[in-house]
Chain A
Amino acid sequence: MSVRVDPDLMKDLKAFGLQDANMCYNCGNCTGTCPLSTSDNAFPRKFVRYAQLGMKDKILTSPEPWLCYYCGDCSVKCPRGAEPGETMMALRRYLTANYDWTGFARKFYTSEKFEIMAIAAVAIFVGLGLLLFHGKPNWEHAALNSVWPSEYVEMADLGMAGILSFLLLSNAARCFKLIMGDLASKVPFSMYMSEAKELVIHLLTQKRFGKCTDRMQWFVHLMIMTGYASVFLMVVVLINGLYLDRVGIEGIKFQRDWPEYPIWNPIRLIGYYSTFAIMYGTTYAIIGRLKKSKPVYKYSHPTDWMFLILLQLTTMTGIFIHFTRLLDWPFPTYAIYVIHMMVAIPMLVLEVPFAKWAHLAYRPLVIYLVRVKEKYALSLATAEETSMEQAQPEVEIAS
């Protein structure tokens, strides 16, 4: 089998944040150090090697970059300072760009200017949209529904969710094809189904992350993830209290009119949890990246900063709105709401299908597919064994 080599791969990967991979002399210390690396899925050294040799196809079809959670042990112990952990990170960015069929992700990752322009463009679009389309504001009370009724926000939400899901799922389908290759159709459907719980478990718990030596990162990641997931549930699914006859169920509606829910209301408590969790996680990460406190924070790609800044700005403007609503100040509420949307929407629209957020789909999917592949290989091996056993008895008697 011939191997196609891309001589420009290292140069290309540099744009995705590759550091000193050319320093690597392939001793394998990183792979032996990694607590997540296994004999069947050994990394990171092999991937540093692939990068050095320009073996692009190997990288594109490999699951390993997604099996790494970047604890940084490999980089700390690397005798050459070749930053294998950052190589794996750069490969995840590279894969995100390559899974994306629109080509947008590549531009987003490789040009900081493009990244900022894209976010600004969506922000302006959202801002103008909110200013152009609105109802008659209630200046007596801070009632968001008077300006931007929740049922319309919900419609926009669902429309956006539809587009994002389409983009993300179509990219995930490409990821699926690359990882599974010829096996995609060979593996029986029932096997995909029986392992599906693995997908859900990894999506919700990221339990593999807990095997890293630095468990703090797992905790921080879980905080951001759960905080984000719960707030997403509220602003997209429950914004109008589930779609029922344009009205929704009053008790679970997120964007409700003045007065606010009482303090012990579950919706409000979930909101507080989300706010705390995201602020805690993002602040920890921002301080870590500023101080370069651990290997995972040593190098920051522009998209890493953008991700944290957008997430933190969204949360902070959300907190402001909460207070202006509690104080019942109509104008500040409406004004900050516009800013809030101008940050939150670009973050979702651009980060989810094209950048860092996309890993929410790729990582659990790939871990799940690795599991499916293992099961399939095992079933083939047992099938072979049984057929051997069936053929064996006569020989055994003879001997």
Chain B
Amino acid sequence: MANMATQSIMVVGGGMSGLSAALEAAEAGYQVYLVEKNPYLGGRVAQLRQYFPKLCPPYCGLEINFRRIKTNPSIQFFTMAEVEKISGVVGDYDVSIKLSPRYVNENCTCCGKCGEACTMEIDNPFNYGMDKIKAAYLPHDMAFPMRYVIDPSLAGNAGEMEKVKAACAYDAIDAGEQAKTLEIKVGAIVWATGWQPYDATKLTSYGFREYPNVITNVMMERLAATNGPTHGAIVRPSDGKAPETVAFIQCAGSRDENHLPFCSGICCLASMKHARYVREQYPNAKVYIFYIDIRATDRLEDFYVTTKEDENIIFFKGKVAQIFQDDATNNLTLRVENTMTGKIHEIPVDLAVLATGMQPNTSVSPIPTTVAYDDYGFVASSGKLGICAAGCARSPLAVSESVQDGTSAALKAIQAVARR
């Protein structure tokens, strides 16, 4: 057998597919390093209210995975960590990992005193900037690892930092922490850096950011979540009022050669799920789903059929072309052709949700070594031996598919090192 150093596997990205890949490989007996950019694991799944196929709260699944990590000595994970350099060949990669300072050490008990003492606020990244949090914060209620984080803006403010440090009774704040670089040797790499919602400000006809009541699907998920900015109340950002009419605009920037030319495959079902959130909360609310084609594959067809049974959810065939805002009320009007009848409609709504698609993170920050990508920036399936992609870095996938994809990537990684 070859030396042990090259038998280890690095998984980049601690979301659903990365977690799955790391656990499957570790439980098969391989040493695994899991590298996550955020201060917590769980990725975008942690930000969901419910997820497919069973509409369970995401923490059900995530907590099982976190327990598997805690009890498995073969996994070592790093948060606030980014891979900076990869060199070498399969079986013998040298990797540099940059560890950003958290300024909070393992003494932290999450008592929250630092947050109380802190007066500085930042946009809450977990809620897509829909609310503010203290600059000394817990990323979210169920964060793993359960430990506070100090934003760099606070760390750079010595006076404020002094106050925050004084509030901590456990000596958990390390104001002088510096960024570190970690060098490791691995035999195979699973790249699972996932996706980001397509930038809706590029959809100029829809007025996102300009009109407060135009939001995106990921924001809707946070609005509906009990640990979200409104504690689960789906309300208009402009005035906090309950919407009477909500529009979902499908293919907002998807299947569009000016934006993302591909179909992300999940947005139709996600909007139907959101429509149900709205209908559960507001028995009289009316929901429109504007679509080009509904893509509900395999057993999810049932979900579509059941959603259609709700008379207050109107499936409207036609892509919304323009959104106008009444500046006095922030009410919106959507201009759209009903392609079944050929008539143009101007439909007033209180809240519009843009069903934006998944842009692969690799299209923005590519893997720091030469790897083939497809036309859209996903890692091409014919990647070289030793580095393979999993989850939404490879293709737009739903959560359950990401789990399967993570498992499959773990096997590929194991094959790559086992051949040595």
Contacts and interface: CB of A to CB of B under 8 A. Distances in A.
B163 interface: no
B96 interface: no
A308 B115 CA distance: 72
A25 B205 contact: no
A32 interface: yes
A28 B251 contact: no
Interface stretch (B225-233, B234-242, B337-345, B380-388): B337-345
Given A32-B318, A33-B322, A26 B339 contact: yes
A25 B255 CA distance: 10
A80 B339 contact: no
B197 to A, nearest CB: 18
Interface in B316-334: 317-322
B122 interface: no
Contacts of B319: 27-29, 32, 79
Interface string B282-323: 000000000011000000000000000000000001111110
A244 to B, nearest CB: 55
Interface string A30-66: 1111000111001001100000000000000000000
Contact of A33 (B205, B251, B255): B205
Contact of A32 (B292, B317, B337): B337
Interface in A2-38: 25-33, 37-38
A46 B337 CA distance: 10
Interface in B248-306: 251, 255-259, 292-293
A26 B344 CA distance: 14
B257 A45 contact: no
A32 B336 contact: yes
Nearest to A37: B344
A38 B342 CA distance: 10
B205 A27 contact: no
Interface string B334-370: 0111110011110000000000000000000000000
Given A45-B339, A79-B256, A29 B344 contact: no
Contacts of A77: 205, 258, 321
Contacts of B339: 26-28, 45
A29 B203 CA distance: 13
Nearest to A30: B321
Given A27-B251, A27-B318, A45-B339, A32 B257 contact: no
Contact of A31 (B257, B292, B293, B344): B344
Nearest to B291: A27
A39 B292 contact: no
A28 B337 contact: yes
Contacts of A32: 318-322, 335-337, 344
B343 A39 contact: yes
B342 A27 contact: no
30 contacts: A25-B255, A25-B293, A26-B292, A27-B292, A27-B318, A27-B319, A28-B336, A28-B337, A28-B338, A28-B339, A29-B319, A30-B321, A31-B344, A32-B321, A32-B322, A32-B336, A32-B337, A33-B321, A37-B337, A37-B344, A38-B344, A39-B343, A42-B337, A45-B339, A45-B342, A46-B342, A79-B255, A79-B256, A79-B259, A79-B319
Interface of B: 205, 251, 255-259, 292-293, 317-322, 335-339, 342-345
Interface of A: 25-33, 37-39, 42, 45-46, 77, 79-81
